């Protein structure tokens, strides 16, 4: 007798087959977004939408929407295998139709959920998903994408403009609630950032979210660009336009938590599907949100495929991963009794650690030249270390320690800065423990923390002079750069998502002048390799004098790899003029003044001074050679040699 054969059902390309289910169950179906969700297909000569959703503990699932009168009895879905994916094909469904999944729980209750894999959503306050087809987006950014594969963030300039689209600039006539569309924003932001000299924009709040006040950090539609600013095609146009103008795009990404909104991921099929079941692991009491279950392969797959979706399908150049610390520590933001230790008795979330290693290995391995950036606020080791060496595998880490010390120092009355001098030099001691990006982000200019200009002591001129020397010091410090919108022209008010930036301030000279100063710093940064190509190596930085405590002056050198164009920084953090100031230098060369904060165009006194200074054999700062420079109060001077 012949052997019996196992007959496998042959699946069509759009169907959820056994291999799809297996890979999803292993957490390695990296393009699962092409199968789950709502996709346009033709079946038996009829065009329609193939719906698929993961609801493992549901009793029954149906699709409801505009096309069936929201009647849950019209289009029940079929369960595929043990993993709990439900599918159905509905002919005649049109692009733009609204839909949800009606899920009957194990207890017989009917709940209505938006599609976790939807590519477009109804504009809030609506909560339905919207049928769309994003399989034919138009891209003309081939040159950028080709160059990206060879790009190395460690050796390249990276100056980021952090932007909240809805409040950067608004229509005066209030059209579309005053929001710029993705297309309008693309054209305006390109003009601005190219003129200013930024290399990248980082966009807050892009994934669909129901509440404006969450700034996009409580997501209900992980696979949908928010409909506040237009369609998915409009969103793709924006990224394409920025790329064609040689501006990179980083998106904020939130794998740490999600809101409890009834239409979202919370208790998706009546049970904890996406979140940990135990509330001591599955809830953030501080934020009132749910925590993803990083131990479930399917949840890992949902998130990793989502990261790839933004980078591969929408051409994003990197993701800034929000709230990494809250994922790494089981007791983050929790009191005793609100959390449970791991199997080793510690407070580390071992499943989240494994998730990060998997995530970063896959995303960066498949997409050379892209970035995964950790917003991580603790001393967790090797955040940017290689996973095979025990690291988490991120490209860059936000330097929150530097940010805290820097802003606290700058808030001080100059009379007391001598007592906190070490706060400004301490960051160099750990500057090479990770690959850092220096950040002055939206978090620092909200919740009564004050805008950057209003952190500065004094009044009027003193505030602006303080902020100029602060920005010069930041630009010279090792690490990539990020500044939140509005702070480049010294916005006075704290940021609010409810209004546009105070652009009217640019009618006033002091705001024009500090914007010009920051712009010139950015262009100096971009054209001088000394400021970026050795960011991750001690050879790129050298203190001249970090111990001038009484005078609150710092001097240091940034070295280029070939030593051809090095930069000497001198920063005076008091209003006291040092007309007899002398600085030690590494060698007997000519030193060319390339940026002086005291120029009239920057709001300074504009006193004439030589451009070139010749070092002489005169000991200073422990150096054989030095030169004299009349250093103004709050003066920042940068010399090239």
Which phi and psi (to 5°) does residue 303 adopt?
-80, -45
| Alpha carbons 107 and 438: distance in angstroms, whole number | 51
Can you point out the beta strands (E) in 408-540?
A: 436-440, 480-484
Q: What is the pLDDT of residues 90-108, one digit of tens each?
A: 999 999 999 999 999 999 9
pLDDT grade, residue 9 (50/70/90)?
Answer: low
**375 catalytic, yes or no?**
yes
**Catalytic annotation, pick one of 322, 351, 435, 598:** 322
Q: CA distances (Å), 550 to each of 258, 347, 422, 576, in order? A: 50, 43, 12, 11
Instruction: Return the SS3 of 129.
Output: strand
Please give the CATH topology (third level) of the domain spanning 18-130.
Answer: Immunoglobulin-like (2.60.40)
Contact 415, 459 (CB under 8 A): no
Which phi and psi (to 5°) does residue 35 adopt?
-110, -45
Q: List, in sequence order, the alpha helices (H) in 309-367.
A: 324-328, 350-366
Q: CA distances (Å), 428 to each of 433, 541, 544, in order? A: 10, 9, 13
Contact 264, 257 (CB under 8 A): no
> What is the pTM assigned to this prediction?
0.95
C-alpha dihedral, 515 to 521 to 522 to 525, nearest 10°: 180
pLDDT grade, residue 171 (50/70/90)?
Answer: confident
604 DSSP assignment: S
- Domain 18-130 and domain 540-640 have a common topology: yes
The separation between CA 551 and the C-alpha centre of its own chain, rounded to angstroms, equals: 37
∠ CA(231), CA(234), CA(238), 5° rounding?
145
| Confidence (pLDDT) at 175 | 75
Between β-strands 436-440 and 480-484, what pairing exists: parallel, antiparallel or unpaired? parallel
The DSSP code sequence of 61-91 is EEEEEGGGTT-TTT-BPEEETTTTEEEEEEE
Task: Name 22's Cβ contacts closer than 8 Å, sequence gap at least 6.
Answer: none
| Confidence (pLDDT) at 87 | 98
| Alpha carbons 143 and 194: distance in angstroms, whole number | 18
Contact 560, 586 (CB under 8 A): no
Total length of the chain:
641
Q: In whole numbers, what is the pLDDT of the chain averaged over residues?
A: 96
Tokens of 267: 């208790």
pLDDT grade, residue 563 (50/70/90)?
Answer: confident
| Confidence (pLDDT) at 8 | 52
Q: CA distances (Å), 337 to each of 330, 344, 511, 576, in order? A: 12, 17, 50, 54
DSSP element (H, E) containing 404 = helix 400-411
Mean pLDDT for the stretch of residues 431-444: 97
List the chain domain ranges.
18-130, 540-640
Contact 608, 571 (CB under 8 A): no
Between β-strands 318-321 and 248-253, what pairing exists: parallel, antiparallel or unpaired? parallel
Contact 193, 152 (CB under 8 A): no
| Percentage of the chain lying above the pLDDT 70 cut | 98
**Catalytic annotation, pick one of 375, 376, 548, 598:** 375
Q: 540-640 has which CATH code? A: 2.60.40.1180
DSSP element (H, E) containing 318 = strand 318-321
| Confidence (pLDDT) at 161 | 98
Which phi and psi (to 5°) does residue 617 adopt?
-80, 85
Helix crossing, 18-26 with 297-308: angle to 10°? 100
Contact 442, 162 (CB under 8 A): yes
Mean pLDDT for the stretch of residues 415-443: 97
Q: What is the pLDDT of residues 64-85, one digit of tens each?
A: 999 999 999 999 999 999 999 9
pLDDT at 3 over 60: no
Instruction: Return the SS3 of 1.
Output: coil
Higher pLDDT, residue 171 or 117? 117
| Alpha carbons 471 and 561: distance in angstroms, whole number | 24
**208 catalytic, yes or no?**
no
pLDDT at 5 over 80: no
Q: Is 622 left (phi over 0), alpha (psi -120 to 50) or beta?
A: left
Contact 220, 274 (CB under 8 A): no
Q: CA distances (Å), 415 to each of 412, 462, 468, 550, 551, in order? A: 8, 13, 18, 9, 10
Contact 169, 345 (CB under 8 A): no
């Amino acid at each position: 007798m012949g052997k019996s054969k196992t007959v496998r059902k042959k699946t069509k390309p759009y169907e959820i087959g056994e291999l799809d289910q297996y890979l999803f169950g292993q957490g390695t179906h990296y393009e699962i977004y092409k199968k789950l969700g709502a996709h346009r297909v033709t079946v038996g000569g009829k065009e329609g939408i193939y719906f698929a959703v993961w609801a493992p503990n549901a009793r029954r699932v149906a699709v409801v929407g505009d096309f069936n009168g929201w009647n849950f009895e019209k289009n029940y879905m079929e369960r595929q295998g043990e993993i709990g994916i439900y599918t159905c094909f509905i002919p005649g469904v049109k692009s733009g139709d609204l839909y949800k999944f009606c899920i009957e729980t194990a207890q017989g209750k009917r709940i209505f959920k938006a599609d976790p894999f939807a590519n477009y959503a109804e504009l809030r306050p609506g909560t339905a998903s919207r049928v769309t087809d994003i399989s034919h987006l138009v891209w003309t950014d081939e040159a950028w994408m080709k160059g990206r594969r060879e790009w190395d963030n460690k050796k390249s300039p990276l100056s980021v403009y952090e932007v909240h689209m809805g409040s950067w600039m608004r229509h005066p006539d209030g059209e579309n609630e005053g929001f710029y569309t993705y297309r309008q924003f693309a054209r305006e932001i390109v003009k601005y950032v190219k003129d200013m000299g930024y290399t990248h924009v980082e966009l807050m709040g892009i994934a669909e979210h129901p509440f404006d006040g969450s700034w996009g950090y409580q997501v209900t539609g992980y696979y949908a660009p928010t409909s506040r600013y237009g369609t998915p095609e409009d969103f793709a146009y924006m990224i394409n336009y920025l790329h064609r103008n040689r501006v990179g795009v980083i998106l904020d990404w939130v794998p740490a938590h999600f809101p409890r909104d009834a239409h979202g991921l919370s208790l998706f099929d009546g049970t904890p599907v996406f979140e940990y079941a135990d509330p001591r692991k599955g809830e953030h009491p501080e934020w009132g949100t749910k925590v993803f279950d990083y131990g479930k392969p399917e949840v890992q797959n949902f998130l990793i495929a989502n990261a790839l979706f933004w980078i591969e399908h929408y051409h994003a150049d990197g993701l800034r991963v929000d709230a990494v610390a809250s994922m790494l520590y089981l007791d983050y933001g929790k009191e005793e009794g609100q959390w449970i230790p791991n199997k080793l008795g510690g407070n580390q979330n071992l499943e989240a650690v494994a998730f990060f290693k998997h995530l970063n290995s896959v995303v960066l391995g498949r997409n050379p030249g892209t970035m995964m950036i950790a917003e991580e606020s603790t001393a967790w080791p090797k955040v940017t270390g290689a996973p095979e060496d025990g690291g988490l595998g991120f490209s860059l880490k936000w330097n929150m320690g530097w940010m805290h010390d820097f802003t606290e120092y700058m808030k001080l009355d100059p009379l007391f800065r001598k007592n906190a001098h070490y706060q400004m030099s301490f960051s160099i001691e750990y500057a090479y423990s990770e690959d850092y990006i220096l950040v002055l982000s939206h978090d620092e200019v909200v919740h009564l923390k004050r805008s950057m200009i209003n952190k500065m002591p004094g009044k009027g001129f003193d505030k602006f002079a303080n902020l100029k020397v602060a920005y010069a010091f930041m630009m010279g410090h090792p690490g990539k750069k990020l500044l939140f919108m509005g702070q480049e022209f010294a916005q006075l008010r704290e940021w609010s998502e409810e209004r546009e930036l105070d652009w009217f301030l640019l009618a006033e000279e002091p705001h024009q002048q500090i914007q010009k100063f920051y712009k010139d710093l950015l262009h100096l940064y971009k054209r001088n390799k000394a400021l970026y190509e050795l960011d991750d190596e001690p050879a790129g930085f050298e203190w001249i004098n970090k111990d001038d405590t009484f005078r609150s002056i710092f001097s240091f050198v940034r070295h280029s790899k070939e030593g051809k164009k090095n930069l000497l920084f001198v920063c005076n953090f008091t209003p006291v003029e040092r007309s007899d100031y002398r600085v030690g230098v590494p060698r007997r060369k000519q030193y060319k003044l390339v940026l002086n904060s005291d120029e009239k165009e920057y709001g300074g006194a504009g006193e004439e001074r030589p451009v070139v200074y010749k070092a002489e054999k005169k000991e200073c700062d422990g150096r054989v050679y030095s030169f004299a420079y009349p250093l103004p109060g709050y003066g920042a001077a940068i010399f090239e040699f």
